[in-house]
Structure 1
Amino acid sequence: MKRVSVDIGGTFTDCFVVWDNQYVEGKALTTHHNLALGFNESLGDACKQLGLESSKLLSEVDSVRYSTTLGTNALIERKGPRIGVLVTSGFKSTIPLSRARGYGEGLSEHEQMDIPNASRPEPIVPIPMIREVRERVDYLGDVFWKLDEDDVRLRIRELVDAGAEALVVMFTNSVVNPVNELRVREIFLEEYPAHLLGAIPMLLSHQVAGRKGEYARGTSTIMDAFLHQTMYHGLGTLELNLRAQGYNKPMLVSHNSGGMAQLNSTDALQTVHSGPVSGIAASEHLAAAAELGNVVATDMGGTSFDIGIVDQGGVKHYDFNPVIDRWLVSVPMVHLVTLGAGGGSIARYDRMFGSVELGPQSAGSDPGPACYDRGGLKPTVTDADLVLGYLDPKNYANGRIPLNPRRAKQAIEDHLCDDLDMDVVETAKLIKRNVDAGMANGIATELRTRGYEPKDFTILAYGGNGPLHACGIANALGVSKILAPPFSSTFSACGAGNVNQMHIHEMSTWTVLFNPATKSFFNQYDSFNKSVEELERRGREDLVRQGMPVDQIRYRLELDMRYGNQRVQTAVVTEMGRLHSQREVLALMDQFHKSYGARFGEGSQSPETGVRINTIRVCSYVEQPKVAFAKLKLSGKSVAPPEPVSKRPCHYVGQDQAIDTPIYDDKALAEGTRIAGPAIVTTRATTYLVEPGWTFHAAAQGGVWFIKE
């Protein structure tokens, strides 16, 4: 297996290369103005370790896979085309009203507690760019009001004249019968052939989101159109860069659904948060291979701290109506919680509490933390880590980024010390304590709101800063064991190479399995099975178009079910691909009953109110070769640590005086090595901080356990 996987983050571009039996990590600063430059530098770092030219490597690899934050950055900066929207007559206000929840969606928990002072986000589509079209399809899919084609031509012309650079069609009930949306596209191409308007895209809502719910479907399609241009040009540039270096195969892009696909089969919206989701995919594979049980995936990079859950029972935690930026969408996405707590998170004085607040603003890679000496003036978590002695100024990121301790101290002193009435070291300790506590609180909240306890989970600490803050997070969380996985610095890039080629298709349905009014059970098996077959057909066509053999395609059926008219839905993954009898209907209801009880407490089920299926979802995928993870269980054998390469004074939270701390290099990663803290292990990829009271246990394949003694 030969493969290149890339995770383009807000601060660093990580590259993970599989070259037969060799696994190699590369790292470089992200170049936001041209992502190809950061990719080339990161790949060059990996090729140097392999002793290969980039062109030779790219000409021989099986695939190149990207996960990127292009879409996230475009939303933050609001850089996108002017969009025009066509809606069903009478539904012009569906999007602006935003179900009256537009004030709160996408805000932090703290901000949601003060909704009267919250403000709506700036609309991606202003009201003058929304036009009504005379048409209507009812909830059963019957055409109630035939499309007025002359009206369509007029409205399209108005939007084009108003400067629309992308068009969205969002008709009511089009997921049941898309005939009118499809006809609008034909009319658009008749009126404005490609040689007149060039590359103005028209997106149809039923092709982007398959569920009912006009507002969420509309925002999904609008965001997809808004990101389309950025993704097309950004990823297109990356693909041209690959072509110039001898790579002639299709480029693959990671999706936030936990799969991947070729660029020509990827919607822009599917790439948002694909980097952190790739880390969750790697955690899932590692948990199974290393028999870790339940796992919390935590990714602390330069910009953010991302949390995901991997359940050993195989339950996948999806957000079926996630909020991206400030917008509710209806595109399935692996559940992810993001906190503004990365190495580049900016620290500022909180006047209300007289303390330090971290993030969500980040210094990113340009200018970066003050210690990068690239023009950054504000203090960050990385600056605090440097002041406390944890980072080697001459050996950070394998020596590629020299750090300036004087700049770090000056930034902390200028912005925080006077307000806090503390010296620079105590202020740096406060920054570290607060960022560790914030991350620990995020983990505890995420687990406990889902009915889990942190002590029942193995916590993975990865990303460039994960092993550096692992002990501090564990101290604040009250756990005594934490694992930095193999390839921890580039773990998300590794995960981007481990996901399957996959597509998810879904449709809304009104399928009543048990009707309490008539005491009857569902028996329309043919209609249900035809719906499943249609979704499988769409997935199969997507994969065959990308060159996948039909006999290798597998399907997973998921159903969103609920009791009566409850709003809470539970996703049930069933092994039954079809329904043929009442016995199978009862078996499905029993599976839902158990799943609901496990989630909300046994006895909370209410089958007497009826059981319904609201959404049918089919995941179509082809299994791909995976990176082979070793078993990482703690072994009884113990290897004496190597001689320290140096010592330096370090300051620790809870310790009044600096402690002369031994510094180790890559030799400390030999399996079985145990080092009692305090100690620091600095490798070419990351820094492992072993705080007082903790022990460093090197496991197989470069994995590291932190155990509190």
Structure 2
Amino acid sequence: MKRVSVDIGGTFTDCFVAWDGRCIESKALTTHHNLALGFNEALRNACAELALSEYELLSQVDSVRYATTLGTNALIQRKGPRLGLLTTAGFRASVPLARAKGYGVGLPHAQQMDVPNAQRPEPIVPLPMIVEVRERIDYAGQVVMALDEEQLREALRTLVDKGAETLVVVLANSVVNPAHELRIREIFLDEYPGHMLGAIPMLLSHQVAGRKGEYVRAMSTILDGFLHQVMYHGLGTLELNLREAGYRKPMLVNHNSGGMAQLNSTDALQTVHSGPVSGIAAGEHLALQAQLGNIVATDMGGTSFDIGIVVEGGVKHYDFNPVIERWMVSVPMVHLVTLGAGGGSICSYDRMFGSVQVGPDSAGSDPGPAAYDRGGLKPTVTDADLLLGYLDPAHYAGGRIKLHARRARQAIEDELAEPLDVSAIEAAKRIKSTVDANMANGIARELRTRGYEPEHFTILAYGGNGPLHACGIARALGVRRILAPPFASVFSAVGAGNMSQLHIHEKSCWTTLFDASQQRFFSDYAQFNAVVEELEQRGRDDLLRQGFAAEQIRYRLELDMRYGNQRVETAVVTSLNRLTEPEQVLQLIEQFHARYGERFGQGSQTPEAGVRINTIRVCAHVEHPGIAFADIRPQGEPLPPPPPRAHRDCHFVGHEGAIRTAIYDEAALTVGTQIDGPAIVVTRATTYLIEPGWRYRAAAQNAVWFTRLDH
């Protein structure tokens, strides 16, 4: 296998190269003005280890795969075209009203409760750019009012005259009958041919999101339209960069659904959060191959801390109405919780509580932490880690970034130590304690709200700062063991290389499997099968367009089901791709009954209310060979540690004064090596901090187990 996978984060660009059995990790600072520059630097570092030129490597690899936060950054910075929205008459206020929840969506709980100070986000489509179209289709897909084509032409002229650079069409019930949306596009192309408006795109909502719900479908289409140009130019630049360097195959882009596709088969909205989702996918593969059972994937990078859950058997949690930035959308996405707790998270003094606040703002890669000496003046978590003695100023990021302790100390003294009336070291300890507690609380809240306990999960601590804070997170969480997985510093990039090409298509299709009032079971099998066939065909077309044969494509059917009129829906995965007899209907109901009981407790099921399917979803995918993980479970007798290469005074939370700490190099990654803290293992890729009272045990592929010692 020869493969390059890349995770472009807010601070670092991570690169993982699999080359005929060798695995190379590489990092470079992300260059936001031109992502190709950071990628090229990371790739050059990997090529140097392989003694190859970039051309030699890229001309031989089977694929290059990208996961990127480009879309996330564009939303935060509001970098996008001027949008115009065409919607059904009477629905003009749907997007501005945001279901009366727009002031709080995407904010922390405390800010959601602060209603008097609530502020809605700046609208992506201002009200003057929303124009109504006279037409109406009912819930069953019947035309109630025909499309007024003359009025439509006037509406199109209005938006174009106002400077719309992208047009979005969101009509009521178009997912049931898209005829009017399709006709609007025909008229638009007739009114404004391509040679007049160039490449101005028009997005139809039924092609972006297949479920009912006008607001979330509208926001899905609006965000897709807003990100379209940024993603097209950003990823297009990356693809041109690959072409110039000798790569001739299609570039592959990771999706937040847990799959990937070629650039020409990728919607902009599908790339948002694709980097962290790649890490969750890597965690899923590791859990299956190493038989870890339930896992929590936690990625502590330079900008954020991301949390994802995979329960035993490789079952991921999905969000079918995820929140992206400040808006709720209706595209399937692997469930992810993001906290502002990375190495570059800015630390400030909270005057109300007289304490340290960490995040959510980040120093990113430019200017970066104060210790980078690139103009950053605010203290960050990395500055605290340096001041406490955990980081080697001369060998940070493999020696490519020199850290300046004096800058870090000055920033912490000015911003925190002085108002707290403590020493700089004590202020740094409070930063460490606060950020570890924030991450532990995030994990605990995410697990317990879903009915799980942390001790029933293996917690993976990865990302550039994961192994550095693993012991602190575990201590605050109250768990006794935590795992830094193989290739921990670039684990999300590893996941980007392990994904399969996959497309998810779904459609709202209200189907009553059991009608409680009439005591009757569903029997219109042809209707159900027709919808499944339509969704399979859409997925098949996506993959055939990318060069796969029909026999390579596999399908997975998922149904969103509920009891009666309950608002809560439960996703059920079934092997029944078609319904042909009553026994299969009963089988579906039994599967839902069991899944509901697992989620909400046995005995909570209410079949007497009836059983309904609200959404039919088909995942079409083609499997690819992935990176094979070794058995990383501790085995055999432990080995004594190698001689330390140095000693350093370090400061630890809960301990007074400095503690003389042994510093080890990569020799400590030898399988079976056991070290009792306090100690530090410094490698080219990351730093493993073994706090007092903890034990380090090295496993295969540079995986490390941290275990709390009994007293």
TM range, normalised to the smaller chain?
Answer: over 0.9
Q: What is the CA deviation profile of residues 307-352 of structure 1, one whole-angstrom value per residue up to 9, with x for unaligned ones? A: 0001113432000000101101000000000000000000000112
Partner of 1:324: 324
Q: Superposed, which structure 2 residues align to 1:156-555 within 5 Å?
A: 156-555=156-555
| Alignment partners' CA distance in 2, 1:218 and 1:657 | 57
| Alignment partners' CA distance in 1, 2:677 and 2:593 | 49
Which structure 1 residue ranges, 5 or more long, are not aligned?
none
**2:579 paired with 1:572:** no
Is residue 288–residue 314 contact of structure 2 (8 Å, CA) maintained in 1?
A: no
Kindly state the Cα deviation for residue 252 of structure 1 after the two structures are TM-superposed.
Answer: 0.4
Q: What is the CA deviation profile of residues 207-233 of structure 1, one whole-angstrom value per residue up to 9, with x for unaligned ones? A: 000001010000000000000010001
Is residue 516–residue 608 contact of structure 2 (8 Å, CA) maintained in 1?
A: yes
Q: What is the CA deviation profile of residues 97-142 of structure 1, one whole-angstrom value per residue up to 9, with x for unaligned ones? A: 1111111111111111212321111110011101111111111112
SS in 2 for 1:5: strand
Is residue 252–residue 263 contact of structure 2 (8 Å, CA) maintained in 1?
A: yes
SS in 1 for 2:221: helix
Q: What is the CA deviation profile of residues 633-675 of structure 1, one whole-angstrom value per residue up to 9, with x for unaligned ones? A: 1113211211111111000001101111110111100100001
Kindly state the Cα deviation for residue 20 of structure 1 after the two structures are TM-superposed.
Answer: 1.1
Is residue 638–residue 674 contact of structure 2 (8 Å, CA) maintained in 1?
A: yes
**2:79 paired with 1:84:** no
Q: Superposed, which structure 2 residues align to 1:644-663 within 5 Å?
A: 644-663=644-663
| Alignment partners' CA distance in 2, 1:698 and 1:124 | 49
| Alignment partners' CA distance in 2, 1:267 and 1:239 | 16
SS in 1 for 2:602: coil
Letter in 2 for 1:263: L
Letter in 2 for 1:9: G
Partner of 1:28: 28
| Alignment partners' CA distance in 2, 1:165 and 1:261 | 26
Letter in 1 for 2:603: G
SS in 2 for 1:654: coil
Letter in 1 for 2:693: G
Q: Superposed, which structure 2 residues align to 1:45-84 within 5 Å?
A: 45-84=45-84
| Alignment partners' CA distance in 2, 1:591 and 1:669 | 45
Is residue 288–residue 313 contact of structure 2 (8 Å, CA) maintained in 1?
A: no
Q: TM-score, normalised by structure 2?
A: 0.99
SS in 1 for 2:668: helix
SS in 2 for 1:517: coil
Identical-residue share of aligned pairs (%): 72
| Alignment partners' CA distance in 2, 1:29 and 1:575 | 45
| Alignment partners' CA distance in 2, 1:700 and 1:316 | 25
| Alignment partners' CA distance in 1, 2:578 and 2:195 | 47
Kindly state the Cα deviation for residue 191 of structure 1 after the two structures are TM-superposed.
Answer: 1.3
Kindly state the Cα deviation for residue 79 of structure 1 after the two structures are TM-superposed.
Answer: 1.0
Kindly state the Cα deviation for residue 448 of structure 1 after the two structures are TM-superposed.
Answer: 0.4
Letter in 2 for 1:59: S
**2:124 paired with 1:124:** yes
Q: Say how many residue pairs are matched.
A: 709
Is residue 285–residue 314 contact of structure 2 (8 Å, CA) maintained in 1?
A: no
SS in 1 for 2:357: strand
| Alignment partners' CA distance in 1, 2:224 and 2:314 | 30
In the TM superposition, structure 1's runs of 4+ consecutive aligned residues that sit over 2 Å from their partners are 313-316
Is residue 458–residue 483 contact of structure 2 (8 Å, CA) maintained in 1?
A: yes
Kindly state the Cα deviation for residue 154 of structure 1 after the two structures are TM-superposed.
Answer: 1.0
Kindly state the Cα deviation for residue 524 of structure 1 after the two structures are TM-superposed.
Answer: 0.7
| Alignment partners' CA distance in 2, 1:160 and 1:444 | 50
Is residue 284–residue 314 contact of structure 2 (8 Å, CA) maintained in 1?
A: no
Kindly state the Cα deviation for residue 419 of structure 1 after the two structures are TM-superposed.
Answer: 1.0
Kindly state the Cα deviation for residue 418 of structure 1 after the two structures are TM-superposed.
Answer: 1.3
Partner of 1:622: 622
Letter in 2 for 1:582: P
**2:554 paired with 1:558:** no
| Alignment partners' CA distance in 1, 2:370 and 2:436 | 20
Letter in 2 for 1:532: V
Letter in 2 for 1:119: Q
| Alignment partners' CA distance in 1, 2:442 and 2:262 | 34
SS in 1 for 2:707: strand
Q: Which moved more, 1:631-640 or 1:454-463?
A: 631-640
| Alignment partners' CA distance in 2, 1:625 and 1:476 | 38
| Alignment partners' CA distance in 2, 1:64 and 1:153 | 44
Letter in 2 for 1:632: I
Kindly state the Cα deviation for residue 159 of structure 1 after the two structures are TM-superposed.
Answer: 0.2
Kindly state the Cα deviation for residue 189 of structure 1 after the two structures are TM-superposed.
Answer: 1.1
Alignment RMSD: 0.7
Q: What is the CA deviation profile of residues 446-466 of structure 1, one whole-angstrom value per residue up to 9, with x for unaligned ones? A: 000000000000000000000
| Alignment partners' CA distance in 2, 1:217 and 1:372 | 43
Partner of 1:594: 594
SS in 2 for 1:164: coil
Q: Which moved more, 1:106-115 or 1:10-19?
A: 106-115
Q: Superposed, which structure 2 residues align to 1:631-642 within 5 Å?
A: 631-642=631-642
| Alignment partners' CA distance in 1, 2:31 and 2:315 | 37
SS in 2 for 1:28: strand
Kindly state the Cα deviation for residue 64 of structure 1 after the two structures are TM-superposed.
Answer: 0.5
| Alignment partners' CA distance in 2, 1:103 and 1:593 | 37
SS in 2 for 1:591: helix
| Alignment partners' CA distance in 1, 2:449 and 2:515 | 31
Kindly state the Cα deviation for residue 196 of structure 1 after the two structures are TM-superposed.
Answer: 1.1
Kindly state the Cα deviation for residue 533 of structure 1 after the two structures are TM-superposed.
Answer: 0.7
